[in-house]
Structure 1
Amino acid sequence: MYQLLGGMRVVEGSSFIAAPSCGLYLAQLGAEVIRFDMIGGGPDFNRWPQAPGGASLYWEGLNKGKKSIAIDLSSPEGRELAVALIAAPGEERGIFLTNFPAAGFLSHERLSKSRPDLITLRVMGHADGTPAVDYTINSAVGIPQMTGPATLGEEPVNHVLPAWDLVTGAYAAFALLAAERCRRGTGRGQEVRIPLSDVAAASLGHLGQIAETSISGADRARYGNNLFGAFGKDFLTRDGRRLMIVAITTRQWTGLVAALGIAAQIKALEAQAGLSFDRDEGTRFRFREPLNAIVAGAVAARDHDALARAFDANGVCWGPYRTLHQALAEDAAFSTANPVFAMVDHPSGHSYLTPGAAATFGGGERSPPVRAPRLGEHTDAILAEVLGLSSGQIAALHDRKVVAGAEATA
């Protein structure tokens, strides 16, 4: 963690990935992020993967470094507390992060009546308010029909990485900071809406895929494990290790040719085709089948370790195929040798390798990642420090079951 956003308070009411990951990134850069949940937990509190004892490792991972207050949001008094928390006074306060529906008691219009300069960052499924998640967005923009081997025909391939959620969470953090900067200059609050569907559509536009399909009048075909538009594919070594090899730049391509000792074969193919593969990545893609055959033969003739030395010596872009379990055992990037990671004891009762901020800031001191809170762990402190309630008032809220602490929500 870093303290670059120290002094900023963000109140988060959210679930699943996109909005909580936005709050996570802000917390890892020093913002105070206060998350409110229903007593007993929201819809993502028990999501898989789970620890052997049943605690959600998913929830534990996405809410590191945040504070937690548990409120009965179904009661009018509980809703009033949530609104008071969101609209609490103070500079660098009045920032609300959510993926709850745009209507209702958490609508920006209603909340801004309590604090006119409020910033609301609302992650949505679709811009019209209809629900969507990463997997329904992905299926609707055509990615599953581009993924996998051509032999699948029309059968889709859903990816396991929730890419649109993660992109949206990162974009939401950026947009929230932009809105906060705007408020500093103008004093004006606003609601920022970020639909997953718009992030997906815009991303495909940025990558040229909308233009590609519009101009060609056809969808992109499936190319299996081949890298579209350049040279890249998986290859098997003599000792049965699988490698991903990529050559996008001229340097990467010439390094690969040198490392494998295939210059004569490549020159023969170039002479036959009347072209050069050195400078045009697109040409390498168009001739991927004969090039793949040449590279596959050379890779299959050597063991992994010999190839690794040759590739590294020649600046080849490559990487091994590993399971995550293998990566944790073999790759120093997944260890405390990497300053991003530390061993942390978590509320689930388990200690495991835990990431902090992915960025490294040369001008700031990195502190270890902070565990996620127990649900309701900071209820009393938040009520006292943020809302100024007395111990008697807090006790009365507990008695009426409007709020709960960590023991009550366990």
Structure 2
Amino acid sequence: MNSLPEANLKFAIDTYHKLREEHPHDNLLFAPVNATSALGLLAMASGHEQAAKIEKVLHWDEVKECDTSRNRRYLEAVESIGLISARVKVGMEKFELSSPDNLHPLSDFFPSVQKFISNALNLYRTDVEGINLKNAPEEVRGIINHWVEAQTQDKIKDLLLEDSFDCHAQLLQLNALYLKGQWKVKFNKDLTVEAPFYSHYAAKNDCQTVQLMNRNGIYNTATFDVGDTEVQVLEIPFKDNELSLYVMLPTDSGPEALKQLEDSLTHEHLLDWASHLKPELVDLFIPKFSLEKKFYLNQYLDLHDLSDPKKADFSQATTTEGVTLTQLVHDAFLEINEEGCEEVEDPRLCRDRRSHRKALEFMVDHPFLYFVHHKCTQSIILFGKFSKPE
């Protein structure tokens, strides 16, 4: 493996597979870059062995070394993911994107290491903010939730659910992302109609519908074989071409085709597909949707030792022994609608229309996978599955 973005891509696919195992029929959504940043911060807080375990989950140990020193490689990885997160946040100022990330020591009885606090801010743009529970965990929960709501334009509410932690909690890692982008070319709202969505998971005779958006235009697209199934891939760029939504749609609408795609999907597929798409005249139909998902990532990523008082080691963040991670809370919110820039006539579209070339139909009326890609850093901002309307 040659680069950190490739490692992050591999981590994204790994995490998707783990979430899918636990939620095979559900809509899924998570933010790989944010999750990587959160885990990188925890690795920086950890002693050597614990940091190595987290690094393995992130596939940082597979990135080719330019130095024989593990510490040098680790520092470069930490600095790189910090820069990726910073570039994403700076580049997204023209979008509605919020990414609140905080590490909360939930007590004032253990002192933090000042070097760790400085590195968290400088490398990850993350605050380490101590909060004294004072036997009032629900009051603290309200304070944290209010802060997250304010950071996400009131989109992400109740990040921490009732009774999320008690007065014995020690360390909370909060990680959230909200994205509402504007397309490079908007969809015409007058063409959006209610239409059937053929979910594999609906009750028998339950006809589900979505608000189906439509646009005829030039899109990068291609068809690929994955395992024994055929998959249509299409890129929908957001304005200024910094972000794109990639849709992965099995041509067969049956459940086995989607399962085959999920079972066979690797990070190499995503790397290969993005470079082999070609511009085509497309008649695109895609659901309008808004989706939020919350996961406690420490339960999915084989990092249970971080919550074990006999095994956890946060010696790079605090001088107190026995400190454990109470929760790693990860929340992602994505809003997809018609909004975007006014259409500027594409010369390729004029040429295709003059030649009476028939548009390729891309009908997203059954379950599909998708991801949001940040081109500058070659990073996946969001990854998910749309299984059914919510």
**TM-score class, shorter:** under 0.3
TM-score, normalised with respect to structure 1? 0.20
Larger radius of gyration: 1
Q: Which has the higher contact order (CA 8 A, sep 6+)?
A: 2
Identify the structure with the greater strand proportion: 2
Identify the structure with the greater helix proportion: 1
TM-score, normalised with respect to structure 2? 0.21
